[in-house]
A = this chain, B = another copy of it.
Amino acid sequence: MDKKTMGIAALIVAIIVAAALMVATGEMNGVAEIGQSISNGFSPNEQLQFGKNLDIWFMLMLVAFLMIFIRKFEWGVCLAVLLSAAGSFVIYLALATLVPVDGAVPYEVWDQSLLINAVICAITVVIAIGVFLGTCKMWQYFLVGVLFAFVYYVVQYYIMGSVCESIFGEFATDPGGSVLVHMCAAYFGLGVALGIREKRAFNEPMYTTTHSVTFVWLASMLLWMLWPSFVTSLLDPSQITWGTITCYMAGMGSLISTYIVCVAIQGKVNPLIYTYAMLCGPVAIGAPLLSVGPWGALLIGLIAGAVSALCFIYLQPWLCSKLGVLDVMGVHNLHGVGGWMGALFVSIVVGSFTTLGVAVLVFAFTLITGFVVGFIVKMTRGEMADEELIDDDVDFIKSEKPADA
């Protein structure tokens, strides 16, 4: 089939799916029926959540710009982020409102917290694709998003839900998503990369420009400042100030220690290490968010930033050569390592190793399911010539002035 036929087919399928869901959920019965399935109360917490919902979408978009430093692969990152987000967001909403967990659907009524859960699912897969960006076809990011929503649904409602409770007798402490978001993203992404097994990625030159890296600075700095919205988005209002304080203090720690480590080890600052590792404090504080005070959070941030920077410098080349696949955006050094630290810190502070135990389960489950998804991607990918890897020319029409090209 040529692109035109496939495109028309895809559009028809999408329209039929949407129309079928309309009918199945009773939307055709009129506005009154629809209204009953949507929250119309507007408590103070929902007011806050409206803003946080948008803030997390803001962060999702910024993750694209965090990964935009390769000049010949700027637009592809943006499009891949949008397509993977769309796939996971829509499917997560369908699952959470239609597929029962332990006998009941998670959400009978659509409200702000449902939307927040869905965008957090989407941002998780957006982080995950950073591991294997540029090594599959553009439409496959949508496919990965769709499949990831199922994986995330199982992690959120079973592994960190009933499975965790039945094994450890309690739920894990992870209000800010060190495990659910960051470890999930890193190991699902690594799993996909292992499934695709694209060794040619090692050979791709990743030239930057001054401005492409400036976009990364912008994204990193704005992500850093938006982070409290993300970690406090599903908290009880009485805990929001606490979460804001510890998140910013942990962020302060990694801002400082990442700089020190970069200069101490490499003499100068590699901007693509600094802008990533400076976010590791907020990653690692996710689990112990409400278990430490401001100065403890600062300490956690100092350690997390230093460890993440060291991982970018020393662990990344070793791990990638061992695994035989390239972690294109170094996702593991920020989200994988940061997630483990979060689980470890909270386990030490609260004196229970439940969170660390669940982290092991999530690690194993996402790595395996990621591998399966990666295998599916590889099977459906078809040929990719060397020059199709990590390159906008494959997917985009350009209109640059000949001399600037």
A interface list, Cβ under 8 A from B: 3-4, 6-8, 10-11, 14-15, 18-19, 21-22, 25, 27, 31, 34-35, 37-42, 44, 46-48, 50-51, 53-55, 57-58, 60-61, 64-65, 68, 71, 74-75, 78-79, 81-83, 86, 89-90, 93, 110-112, 115, 138-139, 142, 205-215, 217-218, 221-222, 224-226, 228-229, 237-242, 244-245, 248-249, 252-253, 255-257, 259-261, 263-272, 274, 278, 290-296, 298-299, 302-303, 306, 350, 392, 394-401, 404
Are B110 and A241 interface neighbours, CB within 8 A?
yes
- Which of B41, B115, B248 is A248 in contact with, Cβ under 8 Å? B115
Closest to A40 in B: B238
- Which residues of the other chain, B, contact A8 by a CB distance below 8 angstroms? 264
CB distance from A76 to the nearest CB of B (A): 9
Contact partners of A11 in chain B: CB under 8 A:
257, 260-261, 264, 302, 306
CB neighbours of A229 from chain B (8 A): 54
| 19 chain-A/chain-B pairs, Cβ below 8 angstroms | A11-B261, A14-B256, A25-B293, A27-B295, A37-B293, A40-B239, A40-B241, A42-B238, A47-B237, A50-B240, A54-B229, A61-B225, A71-B401, A75-B210, A81-B221, A82-B278, A207-B399, A209-B404, A210-B212
A-B pairs, 10 with minimum CB distance: A7-B264, A57-B225, A207-B401, A27-B293, A34-B293, A21-B295, A18-B299, A42-B237, A61-B221, A40-B238
Also in contact, A302 and B14, with CB within 8 A (given A61-B222, A267-B3): yes
> How far, in Å, is A128 (CB) from chain B's closest CB?
18
- The answer to whether A298 touches B90, judged by C-beta atoms less than 8 angstroms apart, is yes
Q: Are A209's CB and B400's CB within 8 A?
A: yes
In the complex, the answer to whether B299 meets A19 with C-beta atoms within 8 Å is yes
Complex Cα distance, B400 from A207, in Å, reads: 5
Measured between beta carbons, the chain B residues less than 8 angstroms from A54 are 55, 225-226, 228-229
Contacts A11-B302, A115-B248, A240-B42 given: A211-B208 contact, CB under 8 Å?
no
Using known A-B contacts A34-B292, A226-B54, A303-B15, determine if residue A78 contacts B242 with beta carbons closer than 8 Å.
no
Asked if B260 and A10 make an inter-chain contact with CB atoms under 8 angstroms apart, the answer reads yes
Are A210 and B396 interface neighbours, CB within 8 A? no
Whether the pair B48, A50 counts as a contact (CB closer than 8 A) is: yes
The contact of A255 among B10, B34, B83, by CB within 8 Å, is B83
The docked-state distance in angstroms from the alpha carbon of A81 to that of B237 is: 32
Which residue of the partner chain, among B38, B292, B404, contacts A27 with CB atoms under 8 Å?
Answer: B292
Q: How far is the CB of A400 from chain B (nearest CB, A)?
A: 6
Q: How far is the CB of A305 from chain B (nearest CB, A)?
A: 10
CB-CB under 8 A from A110, the residues of chain B are 241, 245, 294
Chain B nearest Cβ from A161, distance in angstroms:
24
Cβ contacts under 8 Å, A271 to chain B = 75, 396-397
Q: CA A268 – CA B401 in complex, angstroms?
A: 19
A401 to chain B, nearest CB (A): 4
Q: Are B46 and A47 in contact (CB under 8 A)?
A: no
* Known A6-B264, A142-B256, A396-B268; contact A242-B82, beta-carbon cutoff 8 A: no
Closest B residue, CB atoms, query A90 = B252
B42 to A241, Cβ gap below 8 A? yes
A38 in contact with B241 (CB, 8 Å): yes
Complex partner residue of A296 from B22, B239, B260, CB under 8 angstroms: B22
A329 to B370, CA, bound (A): 42
Question: Looking at the complex, which one of B39, B75, B401 makes contact with A241 (CB distance below 8 Å)?
Answer: B39
Contact assessment for B71 and A210 in the assembled complex, using a CB-CB cutoff below 8 Å: yes
Q: Which residue of B lies closest to A69 (CB)?
A: B399
| CB neighbours of A256 from chain B (8 A) | 14, 83, 86, 142
A212 contact set on B, CB distance < 8 A: 210-211, 214
Q: Which residues of B contact A252 (CB under 8 A)?
A: 86, 89-90
